Amino acid sequence: MLGTLLNSAPTDTTAVDSVLTNVMNAEPLKNGNYAEALSFIMEKGVDLLMSLGSRILLAVMVFFIGKWIIGRLKKVFAKMLEHKNVEASLASFLKSLVSVVLTFFLIVTVVGILGIETSSFVALFASAGVAIGMALSGTLQNFAGGVMILLFKPFKVGDFLEAQSVLGTVKEIQIFNTIFNTSDNKTVIVPNGGLSTGTITNFSKEERRRVDWVFNIAYGDNFDKAKAVMERLIAQDERIFKDPAPFIALNALNSSSVDIVVRVWVPSTEYWNVYYSMNELVYKTFAIEGLNIPFPQMDVYLHQSIKS
């Protein structure tokens, strides 16, 4: 039925021009026989309306059928995104984008059925798209970066990151920006363009992190005793993993101190708690155990010359 309507309808807008030409050149009109001319005009007008009516009917049918198909495709696409566990903000944007693109092609199809030239119509939108793209190049870069982040998920909300000279917890991932919350409770908004192409250090990606210290004792202090004290403090802390085993070794003999390196593994969420609490424990315990924490010092000798 659609094919019959399409074949019976005029192929382009020249049909209207053709009818008007025939009317203007009609013999009754030239001879001044206005009654016959009016009859001729009405006959041609009816033919034109019938021709355009079939094309309009076809366009309306295609429009509503296309809208129904687009609705079905949107539901299928939404289920696919849900099955792939796509980020909610990205899924919403992609569904809107698909809806707009499909609707645009439907409108172009309907306009073509009505006999309007679509090449200039599409060219106009293409030119507008290029102009808008050039004007919003930075914004589009941020948009592309946001899509990459939401698709490949190098980090997620709640992760503690260092990126683009920002150190903080990811509070929200948007299409154009990522919002960080720093340790001193500042909100920092980072464009996704640079974030997706720059270096990211994700401290929350792994479940374990290694904590490193360098503790100092004075020359003359008992190294074995200092090592035993630190082993005892480590064993008492339940947050520190036994496997991999803690590592304690003499690291360096500096000008004013003997440096002891200590390395342990802890849950990533406990990194700073263990780090600061161990610093405090070592400082207090070394004083009780008679171990000295040295500081840079200089010995000055004065020589006095005696005149006879």
Q: Does domain 208-288 have CATH number 3.40.50.1980?
A: no
**Rounded to the nearest 5°, which phi and psi values hold at 210?**
-95, 135
Where do the structural domains in the chain lie, given as residue ranges?
Answer: 2-129, 148-202, 208-288
- Residue-by-residue pLDDT tens, the chain, 308 positions: 434 434 444 444 455 455 445 545 555 555 555 555 556 556 656 666 666 667 777 888 888 888 899 888 888 888 887 887 776 666 766 777 788 788 888 888 887 777 666 666 666 666 666 665 555 556 778 888 888 887 788 888 889 999 999 999 999 888 788 999 998 999 999 998 888 888 999 998 899 999 999 999 999 999 999 999 999 999 999 999 999 999 999 999 988 899 999 999 999 989 999 999 999 999 999 999 999 988 776 777 777 766 65
d(CA 183, CA 201): 16
H runs (alpha helix) in the chain: 2-8, 14-24, 27-31, 34-83, 88-113, 118-135, 137-152, 192-197, 223-236, 271-288
Q: Kind of pairing, strands 166-173 and 177-182?
A: antiparallel
Do residues 293 and 218 touch, judged by C-beta distance below 8 A?
yes
CB 203 within 8 A of CB 233: no
Q: How far apart are CA 270 and CA 284, in angstroms?
A: 21
CATH topology of domain 2-129: Helix Hairpins (1.10.287)
d(CA 182, CA 160): 9
* Residues 282 and 230: beta-carbon distance below 8 Å: yes
The topology under which CATH files domain 148-202 is SH3 type barrels. (2.30.30)
**Do residues 73 and 100 make contact, with C-beta atoms less than 8 angstroms apart?**
no
- The pLDDT value given to residue 2: 39
